[in-house]
Homo-oligomer: A and B are copies of this chain.
Amino acid sequence: MIRPSGRAADELRQIRITRNYTKHAEGSVLVEFGETKVICTASVESGVPRFLKGQGQGWLTAEYGMLPRATGSRNQREASRGKQGGRTLEIQRLIGRSLRAALDMGKLGENTIYIDCDVIQADGGTRTASITGAMVALLDALKLLKKRGALKGEPLKQMVAAVSVGIFQGVPVLDLDYPEDSAAETDLNVVMTSAGGFIEIQGTAEGAPFQPEELTAMLELARQGLQQLFELQQAALQDAV
């Protein structure tokens, strides 16, 4: 089996994490997983949603979007359709849950962090790139809150990152791009902490069902890929910007 990109089965695409990509947000990252490019911003507002008022804790919520021509053929703009599609809602709920798992809300103070992940170019794996990049934007926003003295302790519990794995032409592969994704028999998104615990796993058989041993192989690939992603996050965070 040769991957369309020529990558080894356990090889990530070229990953780039560019901080301070836009200037207004408290955290702003351009994350690139190969040709997949997502702008991830973390915006801070003081106050929390009504259901949390007066509990002395913070909140994080996420939204996801795609520019209409981020993809090979143009998609109708969700703002003009008048609603977000099911895929969009599913992804933004996943991003929100994943990043909330990184935080101790009690330490965040009564602040809300809005994560916005906007795909400007799609080539597979937009949700996993979003989580991985937004984690870095989130840390930049936390730094700012720390400087302002708006926190009640260290809210960061653990780093979180995500990667996709799948079965392509019968072989488990890491970090699927679009040509693989659209032909894969199985697609599995894995969100992990840097300590190796699972936050989310979402696996779907696109064609034939997948077997327990395939699941095991895919999870191992994901674990290896995620270790590299955690290192890339750290490297990005050490850049002077």
Contacts and interface: CB of A to CB of B under 8 A. Distances in A.
A28 B89 CA distance: 27
A70 B25 CA distance: 8
A110 interface: no
By secondary structure, the A interface counts as mixed
A118 B67 contact: yes
B69 A24 contact: yes
Given A22-B120, A79-B84, A212 B205 contact: no
Contact of A39 (B24, B67, B85, B209): B67
Contacts of A50: none
Contact of A199 (B23, B193, B209): B209
Interface in A206-231: 208-212, 215, 219
A90 interface: yes
Contact of A198 (B71, B114, B118, B203): B203
A203 to B, nearest CB: 5
Contacts of A6: none
Interface residues of A, number: 66
Nearest to A45: B74
A236 interface: no
Contacts of A116: 67-69, 74, 77
A8 interface: no
A153 to B, nearest CB: 18
A121 interface: yes
A65 interface: yes
B195 A200 contact: no
24 contacts: A22-B37, A22-B120, A23-B35, A23-B121, A24-B71, A24-B72, A24-B121, A39-B67, A43-B68, A63-B77, A65-B77, A69-B114, A83-B83, A86-B92, A90-B90, A97-B204, A118-B120, A195-B209, A197-B211, A198-B211, A198-B212, A199-B205, A201-B215, A202-B203
The 10 A-B residue pairs with the shortest CB-CB distance in the complex, in nearest-first order: A197-B209, A78-B79, A86-B89, A41-B69, A43-B74, A25-B69, A79-B79, A22-B121, A201-B203, A68-B116
Given A28-B69, A43-B68, A97-B204, 17 more contacts: A22-B120, A63-B77, A65-B67, A65-B77, A65-B79, A67-B118, A68-B114, A79-B81, A79-B84, A79-B88, A80-B84, A86-B89, A89-B90, A197-B205, A197-B211, A198-B215, A202-B202
